[in-house]
Amino acid sequence: MKPFLGLMKKEWKLGRKSLVWLLLLQMVLVLITYLLGNHYQVPGIMFVGIIPLLLIHILMVPVMLLTLLNVEGKSQLWLHNPQSSMLLLGSKLLTGLGLHLISLLFSAVVLVFALMNSSSMLSNEQMQGYGIFELGTVLGVITIFSLFLAVECLLLWVIYHALVKFPQIKNVRWLIITILFFGINFLLNFFQDTALYQALDEIARVTIFQFNSFSVDTDEFSLAGEVIDFSLLTFSIDTLFVVGLFYLACWVFDRKLEV
């Protein structure tokens, strides 16, 4: 446990600078949209910056993970680290997730603050059904998708650098990675479209909130979403698939790839 905590501490030191810049960028964007809203007397303009900022966090874990991988990859010291690949890559993945959560929660707090200060633009009817549960569901879905995408990016990053050992294909590695990316997603979508998966998707269903869209007018702001059913069983299957990708990334990494 101590080696893993040590790795996490090291990863945090590598990633916190990126987090600070990210939070500063968010604050600047929110400030700009707030000032524009005041200038044009349209408070809802603030949401034009906040909500896309919230949704773009789907890419946050992959971006943070790749940043950590590239920063340490320049030194190549971790290739001689006695810790297992699972600890090395897992610490980077969890650190990326932690940085993502901090940034996401910051955006969520700003959104709640904006909603509280724009109550005149929102009728009780518009806000009915939108609460902590709905916001938490949206944040959870964003985080899950971001984490799943990060694991896929991790596998592709490891394979990309492992292919450098083959001089014949070194210059077309990007093409191979592109094909693998679409291939992995094609196989996953193909499986999800099968009758077996569709049948399993009807088991252990729970209700979640799905955000669809928002609109801003000169004197009104509105959110659009719906309540949908969600299968815990098929989610567990998808999770096992992603865990399998992570184990595959660790296996390839153990081949002592060059970065």
**Count of Cβ atoms closer than 10 Å to residue 68 Cβ:** 23
What's the pLDDT score for residue 26?
Answer: 86
Mean pLDDT (whole number) for 135-153: 89
Q: What is the pLDDT of residue 246?
A: 94
The pLDDT of residue 124 is: 46
Query: pLDDT category, 136, cuts 50, 70, 90?
Result: confident
Inform me whether the pLDDT recorded for 202 exceeds 80: yes
For residue 74, give both structure tokens: 């320049």
For residue 214, what are the β-bridge partners?
A: 223
Which band of pLDDT confidence, cut at 50, 70 and 90, is reported for residue 97?
very high
**Which conformational region is residue 256 in: left (phi greater than 0), alpha (psi within -120 to 50 degrees), or beta?**
left
Least confident range from 16-30, 74-88, 112-126, 177-191: namely 112-126
Nearest to 155 by CA among 191, 181, 185: 181
Whether 36 has a pLDDT exceeding 60, the answer reads: yes
Nearest to 143 by CA among 210, 98, 185: 98
Q: What is the pLDDT of residues 101-123, one digit of tens each?
A: 999 998 888 877 776 765 555 54
Six-digit token string for 157: 């990053």
Q: Is the pLDDT of residue 154 over 90?
A: yes
Which of the residue ranges 23-27, 65-69, 151-155, 206-210 has the most confident prediction, judged by mean pLDDT?
A: 151-155
Q: What's the mean pLDDT when you consider all of the chain?
A: 79
Q: Which of 39-48, 118-127, 137-146 has the lowest mean pLDDT?
A: 118-127
- Bridge-partner residues for 209, per DSSP? 227
Max CA pair span of the chain: 65
Share of the chain above pLDDT 90, in %: 22
What average pLDDT score do residues 142-171 get? 88
